[in-house]
Amino acid sequence: MLPACPRVYGRLMGNLIGHYTQCRKLLCQAAKAGNKVTYEDLAAGLGFQSPRQQWSTVLGQIAADEVRKTGHDLTLVVVYKSGPAKGLSRYFSNIRGGQAPQSTLLDPKDAQQVAAYNRDLAAVFAAYANAVC
């Protein structure tokens, strides 16, 4: 589990852009270690009681910024804990093609998308292996 940030403990369902720096750091640390992070663990790491948040407000910006800086979508490390998409990201990284972040859902039944996601995730892990987070 990720470390908690007590000053934001209990905040629910708001715009998370104010948590950009801490969220990016948590994702970078996970990628550096070659780990995926569930929404539940990310919420806990930011001090939230619930994983039900407006993640797009911060993850979309992190995705766009990281692709611009590194060519890799750092937010691919954030995955579902359960359900049909267990262990997969909510979105397929498509921003390198000029589309907006989070514009194409990852279909867990689409073997080509899942394979592409896994390749992109492996590239994220490699790119951030020596990152300073």
Look at residue 96 in the predicted model and tell me its pLDDT. Answer: 62
**Structure-token pair, residue 58:** 């911060």
User: What pairs with residue 38 in β-bridges?
Assistant: 79
Query: Quick check: is 70 in a domain?
Result: yes
Query: Quick check: is 92 in a domain?
Result: yes
Residue 80, SS3 per DSSP: strand
Look at residue 26 in the predicted model and tell me its pLDDT. Answer: 97
Query: Quick check: is 32 in a domain?
Result: yes
Cβ-based neighbours of 100, under 8 Å, separated by 6 or more: 60
User: What pairs with residue 15 in β-bridges?
Assistant: 54
Half-sphere exposure of 94 (CA within 13 A, CB side): 12
Q: Please state, in angstroms and rounded to a whole number, the distance separating the CA atoms of residues 75 and 37.
A: 9
**Structure-token pair, residue 54:** 């407006």
Look at residue 81 in the predicted model and tell me its pLDDT. Answer: 93
Query: Quick check: is 87 in a domain?
Result: yes
Query: Quick check: is 99 in a domain?
Result: yes
Please give the DSSP secondary-structure letter assigned to residue 69. Answer: H
Q: Please state, in angstroms and rounded to a whole number, the distance separating the CA atoms of residues 56 and 124.
A: 19
Q: CA–CA distance from 86 to each of 77, 79, 101, 124 (Å)? A: 12, 7, 21, 19
- When divided into structural domains, the chain yields a total of 1
Domain hosting residue 17, numbered range: 6-128
Query: Quick check: is 133 in a domain?
Result: no
Query: Quick check: is 1 in a domain?
Result: no
**pLDDT-flagged residues of the chain (< 70):** 1-14, 92-97, 101
Q: Please state, in angstroms and rounded to a whole number, the distance separating the CA atoms of residues 90 and 92.
A: 7
Query: Quick check: is 51 in a domain?
Result: yes
Look at residue 12 in the predicted model and tell me its pLDDT. Answer: 40
